[in-house]
């Protein structure tokens, strides 16, 4: 009996020793696999992609410790001057206004005078004080620092607004024909043009006072600010 008990005790010790060895190897193997696994990329690293666009967080990127590249993304378009956009839009509206004013003066001078005198200040107050001034202040307050990127050429604004302005002229012609009031259409266009002109002056005064330029991304309508000597 004593000999059998001793044999059983030795067998239990062997089994316990094997279990400890397996557990130890498992832990060491897991630690070794963790050591061999590549470290998670840092999420706050900014890189450049293969096309030279602005970099993105490394959670989208792959690479080696020396070379880090990012998957290709659409490049940011040239940034536009917000003050120039407002000024070009104002010029287009004033041109439309003069067109309707001349047509109204030929057809009905009295209607032209009434439409311009009543329509211009009313539309100007509504467009500028209720809408454009607030939008300009919000764009200035929420603008982010501009990335180092090229600026839009001056003629791009005019090319971008051709079709919207043409659609506006068509709508105004339709209402002028239905209501027989081209003078009122002239007053509306004068009011919008003057409101846009005042908005451009507001932005330009702020730019001069702070030596900055307010820019806009035409594709996303996000606003940026850049130093005046960088543009």
The mean per-residue pLDDT over the stretch 150-178 comes to 92
Residues with Cβ within 8 Å of residue 73, at least 6 apart in sequence: 49, 51, 53, 56
CB contact burial 153-171 (16+ within 10 A = b; e otherwise)? eeebbeeeeeeebeebbee
**13-37 tens-digit pLDDT:** 545 445 444 444 444 444 545 555 4
pLDDT at residue number 105? 96
- Count how many residues are written for the chain: 231
Distance CA 36, CA 23 (A): 20
DSSP class of residue 57 equals B
Distance CA 186, CA 98 (A): 7
pLDDT at residue number 191? 98
Q: Is 212 helix (H, G, I), strand (E, B) or coil?
A: strand
Q: Which of 8-17, 41-50, 117-126, 139-148 has the highest mean pLDDT?
A: 117-126
Burial label for 82, CB within 10 Å (0-12, 13-18, 19+), is: buried
DSSP class of residue 46 equals B
**145-158 tens-digit pLDDT:** 988 668 888 789 99
The mean per-residue pLDDT over the stretch 100-122 comes to 96
Q: Is the pLDDT of residue 190 over 90?
A: yes
Q: Is the pLDDT of residue 197 over 70?
A: yes
Q: Is the pLDDT of residue 2 over 50?
A: no
Contact indicator for 77, 218 with CB cutoff of 8 Å: yes
Distance CA 4, CA 101 (A): 120
- Packing angle of the helix pair 182-210, 82-107 (nearest 10 deg): 160
Mean pLDDT, the chain, whole residue set: 78
């Amino acid at each position: 009996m004593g000999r059998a008990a001793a044999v059983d005790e030795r067998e239990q010790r062997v089994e316990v020793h094997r279990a400890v060895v397996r557990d130890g190897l498992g832990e060491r193997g897991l630690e070794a696999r963790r050591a061999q696994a590549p470290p998670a990329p840092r999420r706050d690293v900014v890189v450049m992609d293969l096309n030279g666009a602005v970099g993105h967080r490394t959670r989208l990127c792959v690479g080696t410790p020396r070379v880090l590249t990012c998957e290709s993304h659409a490049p940011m378009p040239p940034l536009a001057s917000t003050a120039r956009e407002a000024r070009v839009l104002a010029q287009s509206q004033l041109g439309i206004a003069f067109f309707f004013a001349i047509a109204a003066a030929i057809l009905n001078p009295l209607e032209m005078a009434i439409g311009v005198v009543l329509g211009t200040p009313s539309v100007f107050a509504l467009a500028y004080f209720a809408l454009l001034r607030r939008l300009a202040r919000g764009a200035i307050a929420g603008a982010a620092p501009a990335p180092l990127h090229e600026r839009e050429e001056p003629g791009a604004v005019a090319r971008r607004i051709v079709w919207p302005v043409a659609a506006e002229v068509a709508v105004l012609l339709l209402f002028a024909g239905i209501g027989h009031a081209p003078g009122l259409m002239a007053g509306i266009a004068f009011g919008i043009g003057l409101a846009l002109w005042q908005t451009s002056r507001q932005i330009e005064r702020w730019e001069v006072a702070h030596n900055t330029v307010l820019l806009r991304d035409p594709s996303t309508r996000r606003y940026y600010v850049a130093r005046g000597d960088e543009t």
